[in-house]
Chains A and B, each alone.
Chain A
Amino acid sequence: MFAFWSLALLLISVARGKEVCYDRLGCFTDDIPWAGTTERPISKLPWSPERINTRFLLYTKKNPDNFQEITAIDPKTIGYSNFDANKTTRFITHGFVDQGEENWLSDMCRRMFQVEDVNCICIDWSKGSRCPYTQAANNIRVVGAEVAYFINVLVADYGYSPSKVHFIGHSLGAHAAAEMGQRIPGIKRITGIDPAQPYFEGTPVEIRLDKSDAEFVDVIHTDSAPTIPYLGFGMRAAVGHLDFYPNGGEQMPGCKKNALSQIVDIDGIWEGTRDFVACNHLRGYKYYSDSILYPDGFLGYPCAAYNLFETSCFPCPARGCPKMGHYADQYKDQISSTSGFTKLYLNTGDAKIFARWRYKLSVTLSGKSSVRGYVNIALYGTGGNTKQHQIFQGYLQPGSTHTVFIDSEIKVGTVTTVKFLWNNNVINPTFPKMGAEKIMVEDGENGHMYNFCGSDTVREDVLQTLTPC
């Protein structure tokens, strides 16, 4: 057996070193580490640029609904288009099997136009993404080289600076950044939305997305369970300057619906089918898209692990929490180049709108006798009021204090009152009364503390209002 494997390895090492060269883009080899390693056992050379047919679909504020197709091979098309060399350019790239004309890419552009004026270029490489995975994982190198070529033309023709380029890649698309970043130093920012795991996790930095690829690299991990056996498609390892793990990064809320409910989606059968196949994996770009409109709704709390985040790592440090998604680069200046990886945790909603605001509640109960039941708390403030959040279930003992975190669906702002409610769903002939003596609310964003006191007790299913004290 050993002889067989050594022979096989020998054959692989003899066969390696194949290379293809394409004009404009240069040569691509399937040498180690591109193939023949344990992470990348099957060697494939990338297809030709003509076959992959990378297309650049430009959306701007002037044409938010219909794209203009531009190409660097014929730079005149850029001149004729609405491309504005004075503005930031954001590239958005899809992943495996997906296409650049898919709605989520242009929707993301339109959301950007609501808050800023940018050149939004959706990159379509569907001809190269709809093939066996091993092939697509290599085709992405050509896509990265095409983007680099495009930027080089912008630099040459318009004096455009790479420091105005932001590259957003989903799944396999995120790894196109590796090729691009190596060809063009000084790219302003790369956002990896759940970078693909198979063929990239554990590989050297020239193959995969890495923090050396741009001045600032932020990554959102939403499907980081191992591919075998959990079918997680996204990378687990932290690879950027900031790595966000919403909901722990493995299982997203709203992705465990039964098959029928998942496929028959509010956004249509097509969106539902996509989610049925890869719900966790596709959540990343939905979070990013929401983050454009809710800048403070996706605060990432620095923490060592998700289970610690659930019990501590609160509130944000004095210099603030980095924002997951579109505004992650606001935190850029606070990252020292020598430091390691920063892991950030947060919770999101289970359906759009995904934004959430985290609060810490500390409730001290009062009453005459203990009862079994649960406790709900709702916060009222300048931004409106939340729904009731169940904060505790079990034995309600007067004098005991329960401390929990809630992720509110609205930003409460300055908290003015708090309402307390308890219930046990069991008919109790003695009509016991419970109340909250003291409730402390801490805002996660700025660490503000609010204290509320209550003097009375209430019967079950009756709201008790607590006022500041």
Chain B
Amino acid sequence: MERAWVLLLFTCILAESFASPRGLIFNLDNGELCMQSLQCKSGCCHRTSGLSLARCSDKAAENQECSRKHIYGIYYRCPCESGLTCDADWTIVGGITNSDFGICKDPAKRK
């Protein structure tokens, strides 16, 4: 019985956080603490160094520094806004340490 209540409560919280424009776990605004980019409205959970806390932040605009999208979900440089590609080389070390940085470019411009 108790378990059922906990389950119900959890479902409610989950539903609430998805439904409301401003959530506790999902739909986070810029500046709120996050652990995964999925939580952020902006789609980027950003931290400045390995020791600092991560916060939701805007994606990188054209000509700004970026990382390519990856599975870690926390970025030192946010991925690019839609329509842009992050012009970064892929290296094994960089892939592990999450430090393959590039510049956001418009793919149409390169032609």
Interface residues of A (CB under 8 A from B): 254, 256-258, 260-261, 264, 266, 350-351, 376, 378, 380, 384-388, 419, 421, 423, 461-463, 465
Q: Which residues of the other chain, A, contact B84 by a CB distance below 8 angstroms? A: 463
Instruction: Give A464's nearest chain B residue, CB to CB.
Output: B108
Helix, strand, loop or mixed for chain A's interface?
loop
Q: Which residues of the other chain, A, contact B81 by a CB distance below 8 angstroms? A: 376, 378, 387-388
Q: Is the CB of B30 within 8 A of A421?
A: no
Q: Which residues of the other chain, B, contact A463 by a CB distance below 8 angstroms? A: 83-84, 106, 108
What are 22 A-to-B residue pairs whose CB atoms are below 8 Å? A254-B31, A256-B29, A257-B31, A261-B32, A261-B33, A351-B30, A376-B81, A376-B83, A385-B61, A387-B58, A387-B59, A387-B81, A388-B61, A388-B81, A419-B83, A421-B82, A423-B82, A461-B82, A462-B83, A462-B108, A465-B106, A465-B109
Question: Of the candidates A258, A266, A385, A461, which one forms a contact with B63 in the assembled complex, judged by CB atoms under 8 Å apart?
Answer: A385
- Known contacts A385-B61, A387-B61, A423-B82; decide if A256 and B106 are in contact (CB<8 Å): no
Distance, CA A266 to CA B31, complexed state (A): 9
Distance, CA A462 to CA B106, complexed state (A): 9
Question: Of the candidates B24, B31, B59, which one forms a contact with A350 in the assembled complex, judged by CB atoms under 8 Å apart?
Answer: B31
Distance, CA A261 to CA B54, complexed state (A): 10
Instruction: With A257-B31, A376-B81, A463-B108 given, name 11 new contacts (CB 8 A).
Output: A256-B29, A350-B29, A350-B30, A385-B62, A387-B58, A387-B59, A387-B81, A388-B61, A388-B81, A419-B83, A465-B106
Distance, CA A260 to CA B32, complexed state (A): 8
Q: Is the CB of A384 within 8 A of B63?
A: yes
B69 at the interface (CB under 8 A from A): no
Q: Please, what's the 1-or-0 string for B31-63, where 1 marks a CB less than 8 Å from any CB in chain A?
A: 111000000000000000000010100110111
Distance, CA A387 to CA B104, complexed state (A): 11
Q: Please, what's the 1-or-0 string for B57-78, where 1 marks a CB less than 8 Å from any CB in chain A?
A: 0110111000000000000000
Distance, CA A47 to CA B61, complexed state (A): 56
Question: Of the candidates A260, A384, A388, which one forms a contact with B33 in the assembled complex, judged by CB atoms under 8 Å apart?
Answer: A260
Question: Of the candidates A261, A419, A423, A461, which one forms a contact with B106 in the assembled complex, judged by CB atoms under 8 Å apart?
Answer: A419
Q: Is the CB of B61 within 8 A of A386?
A: yes
Instruction: Give A351's nearest chain B residue, CB to CB.
Output: B31
Distance, CA A380 to CA B106, complexed state (A): 13
Q: Is the CB of A376 within 8 A of B82?
A: yes
Q: Please, what's the 1-or-0 string for B1-39, where 1 marks a CB less than 8 Å from any CB in chain A?
A: 000000000000000000000101000111111000000
Q: Is the CB of A378 within 8 A of B22?
A: no
Q: Is the CB of A266 within 8 A of B29?
A: no
Q: Which residues of the other chain, A, contact B108 by a CB distance below 8 angstroms? A: 462-463, 465
Q: Which residues of the other chain, B, contact A351 by a CB distance below 8 angstroms? A: 30-31
Distance, CA A388 to CA B81, complexed state (A): 7
Q: Which residues of the other chain, A, contact B59 by a CB distance below 8 angstroms? A: 387
9 closest A-B pairs (Cβ-Cβ)? A387-B61, A261-B32, A463-B83, A261-B33, A421-B83, A388-B81, A461-B82, A257-B32, A463-B106
- Known contacts A419-B106, A461-B82, A462-B108; decide if A264 and B61 are in contact (CB<8 Å): no
Q: Which residues of the other chain, B, contact A258 by a CB distance below 8 angstroms? A: 24, 32
Distance, CA A421 to CA B80, complexed state (A): 14
Instruction: Give B63's nearest chain A residue, CB to CB.
Output: A385
Q: Please, what's the 1-or-0 string for B82-111, where 1 marks a CB less than 8 Å from any CB in chain A?
A: 111000000000000000000000101100
Q: Is the CB of B55 within 8 A of A261?
A: yes
Distance, CA A266 to CA B52, complexed state (A): 9
Q: Is the CB of A264 within 8 A of B33?
A: yes
Q: Which residues of the other chain, A, contact B32 by a CB distance below 8 angstroms? A: 257-258, 261
Q: Which residues of the other chain, B, contact A421 by a CB distance below 8 angstroms? A: 82-83
Highest count of chain A CB atoms <10 Å: which of B31, B53, B59, B106: B31
Distance, CA A257 to CA B109, complexed state (A): 38
Q: Which residues of the other chain, A, contact B62 by a CB distance below 8 angstroms? A: 378, 380, 385, 419
Instruction: Give B109's nearest chain A residue, CB to CB.
Output: A465
Q: Is the CB of B82 within 8 A of A388?
A: yes
Instruction: Give B23's nearest chain A residue, CB to CB.
Output: A258
Instruction: Give B29's nearest chain A residue, CB to CB.
Output: A257
Instruction: Give B30's nearest chain A residue, CB to CB.
Output: A350
Q: Which residues of the other chain, B, contact A266 by a CB distance below 8 angstroms? A: 55
Q: Which residues of the other chain, A, contact B29 by a CB distance below 8 angstroms? A: 256-257, 350
Q: Which residues of the other chain, A, contact B106 by a CB distance below 8 angstroms? A: 419, 463, 465
Instruction: Give A425's nearest chain B residue, CB to CB.
Output: B82
Q: Which residues of the other chain, A, contact B63 by a CB distance below 8 angstroms? A: 384-385
Distance, CA A351 to CA B29, complexed state (A): 12
Distance, CA A421 to CA B33, complexed state (A): 29
Q: Is the CB of B55 within 8 A of A256?
A: no
Instruction: Give A259's nearest chain B residue, CB to CB.
Output: B24
Distance, CA A442 to CA B24, complexed state (A): 38
CB distance from A98 to the nearest CB of B (A): 23
Q: Is the CB of B83 within 8 A of A461?
A: yes
Distance, CA A376 to CA B84, complexed state (A): 13
Distance, CA A423 to CA B82, complexed state (A): 9
CB distance from A458 to the nearest CB of B (A): 9
